[in-house]
């Protein structure tokens, strides 16, 4: 079990690494990752190629001199990829842009792999699947502008080979004395070669697509969080609050259960910014956000920054009296908070307006809560005013505390 757990942790760390490279597009790191992957691929192709020279009948599968030439080309390309790995490792701490290094890694690898596929035949071997793997992987690590030259040259090479084949200027699979597959039973080595290449193409492609799907899912979740959350306080932003308000209003209208809206406004907040500076003002707002989180129910209540120094709570299944208790706990806790700036301490208070929603009319409740908040400030601040947002008479007397 411990081995499986270690393997699982290693696997997810690798996914996180790929995800980070996909998101950040750090040139040196991405060149290193691409070169490592291509080096491993080329090493396996080199091993398969070398195995064809074991016996004379296998060596005869290649045209005279072509086996040695292809073996040398694969070895040279693999050495080049390892050099790019070393380069990327040496420059790993840097965040500079290295467009030339990307081309030095992409162009030889992709064009060389295309030439390898043309030499063995693109029509009846799994090499095109490997080329598709490399395309997906390189596009995930680099922008289209960065990969377009390598893939443009590879596409031009493939098109030129088709033209030469059509005109009879070049034989099909010019490295081979005969095609890999001619409709009959393949030699054992060719069968192994085809199957290994197929697995080599299918498994990495599946892994790359899996990693990309995880990366996209995580980035989407992060973006959704950014859209819904206020960056300073960690609370819901006004847009998310209004969305939750509409959703809960329909539920309240159907069930008839109580629901309350609580508006908070920091008293004399402009003086905090003017005297102690905006960074200290941000600390105050962030701390209030923590207090609101601490005094609300997870997955039930919604605490949001409504705008500036104004906050709001949405309390489902909560009547006006219970909402007053929640608001008083938060206000009392804020009175106890001491902030420090330039060696001096100070405290802040907040005024509160509360309204209970009636018949699902949340917009009227917001207006009543805002009116109550204004009355609390007019009455001297550091207090709250609460009422039920009755549809027939929004001017009923409010409860001042």
Which CATH number do you get for residue 345? 3.30.70.270
Strands of 399-400's sheet, edge to edge?
A: 302-307, 310-316, 259-266, 350-356, 384-388, 399-400
Same-domain pairing of 124 and 201:
yes
Question: Among 179, 209, 228, where does a domain finish?
Answer: 228
Same-domain pairing of 247 and 160:
no
Which residues make Cβ contacts (< 8 Å) with residue 91, sequence separation at least 6?
28, 98
Q: How many domains does the chain have?
A: 2
Strands (E), 237-383: 259-266, 302-307, 310-316, 339-341, 344-346, 350-356
- CA distances 298 to 247, 301, 314, 316, Å, are 17, 6, 12, 12
Which residues make Cβ contacts (< 8 Å) with residue 375, sequence separation at least 6?
353, 385, 398, 400
Same-domain pairing of 154 and 286:
no
Domain membership flag for residue 60:
yes
Distance CA 354, CA 264 (A): 9
Please check the confidence at residue 21 and state whether its pLDDT lies above 60.
no
Q: How far is CA 324 from the centre of its chain?
A: 41
Is the distance from CB of 111 to CB of 147 less than 8 angstroms? no
Same-domain pairing of 272 and 174:
no
Same-domain pairing of 278 and 376:
yes
Tokens 């959704």 sit on residue: 224
Q: What confidence tens digit (pLDDT) does each residue in 69-126 have?
A: 888 999 999 999 999 888 877 765 555 556 788 888 899 999 999 999 899 888 878 8
Domain membership flag for residue 233:
no
Same-domain pairing of 251 and 377:
yes
Tokens 């009355």 sit on residue: 375
Same-domain pairing of 200 and 277:
no
Q: Which two tokens stand for residue 51?
A: 């195995």
| Residue 399: Cβ within 10 Å count | 14
Q: What confidence tens digit (pLDDT) does each residue in 240-255 have?
A: 899 888 888 888 888 8
Same-domain pairing of 147 and 255:
no
Domain membership flag for residue 358:
yes
Question: Among 198, 228, 258, where does a domain finish?
Answer: 228
Domain that holds residue 90: 2-228
Q: What confidence tens digit (pLDDT) does each residue in 186-214 have?
A: 667 777 777 777 777 777 766 666 666 66
């Amino acid at each position: 079990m411990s081995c499986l757990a270690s393997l699982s942790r290693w696997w997810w760390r690798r996914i996180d690494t790929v995800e980070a490279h996909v998101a950040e597009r750090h040139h040196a790191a991405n060149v290193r990752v691409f070169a490592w992957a291509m080096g491993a691929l080329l090493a396996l192709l080199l091993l398969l190629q070398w195995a064809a020279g074991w016996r004379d009948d296998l060596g005869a599968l290649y045209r005279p001199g072509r086996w040695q030439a292809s073996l040398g080309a694969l070895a040279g390309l693999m050495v080049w990829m390892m050099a790019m790995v070393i380069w990327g490792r040496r420059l790993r701490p840097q965040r500079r842009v290295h467009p030339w290094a990307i081309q030095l890694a992409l162009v030889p690898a992709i064009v060389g792999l295309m030439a390898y596929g043309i030499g063995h035949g693109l029509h009846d071997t799994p090499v095109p699947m490997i080329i598709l793997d490399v395309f997906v992987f390189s596009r995930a690590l680099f922008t289209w502008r960065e990969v377009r030259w390598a893939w443009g040259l590879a596409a031009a090479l493939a098109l030129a080979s088709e033209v030469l084949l059509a005109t009879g200027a070049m034989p099909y699979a010019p490295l081979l004395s005969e095609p890999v597959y001619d409709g009959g039973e393949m030699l054992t080595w060719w069968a192994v070669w085809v199957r290994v290449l197929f697995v080599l193409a299918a498994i990495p492609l599946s892994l790359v697509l899996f990693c990309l799907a995880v990366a996209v899912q995580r980035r989407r979740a992060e973006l959704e969080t950014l859209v819904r959350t206020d960056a300073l306080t960690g609370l819901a932003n006004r847009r998310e609050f209004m969305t939750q308000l509409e959703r809960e209003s329909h539920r309240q209208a159907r069930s008839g259960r109580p629901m309350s809206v609580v508006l908070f406004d920091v008293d004399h907040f402009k003086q905090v910014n003017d005297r102690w500076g905006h960074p200290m003002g941000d600390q105050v707002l962030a701390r209030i956000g923590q207090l609101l989180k601490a005094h609300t129910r997870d997955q039930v209540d919604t605490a949001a920054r409504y705008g500036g120094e104004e906050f709001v709570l949405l309390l489902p299944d909560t009547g006006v009296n219970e909402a007053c208790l929640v608001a008083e706990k938060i206000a009392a806790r804020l009175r106890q908070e001491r902030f420090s700036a330039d060696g001096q301490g100070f405290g802040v208070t907040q005024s509160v307006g509360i309204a209970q929603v009636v018949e699902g009319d949340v917009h009227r409740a917001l207006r009543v809560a805002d009116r109550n908040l204004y009355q609390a400030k007019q009455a001297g601040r550091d207090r709250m005013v609460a009422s039920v947002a009755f549809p027939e008479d929004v001017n009923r007397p409010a409860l001042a505390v």
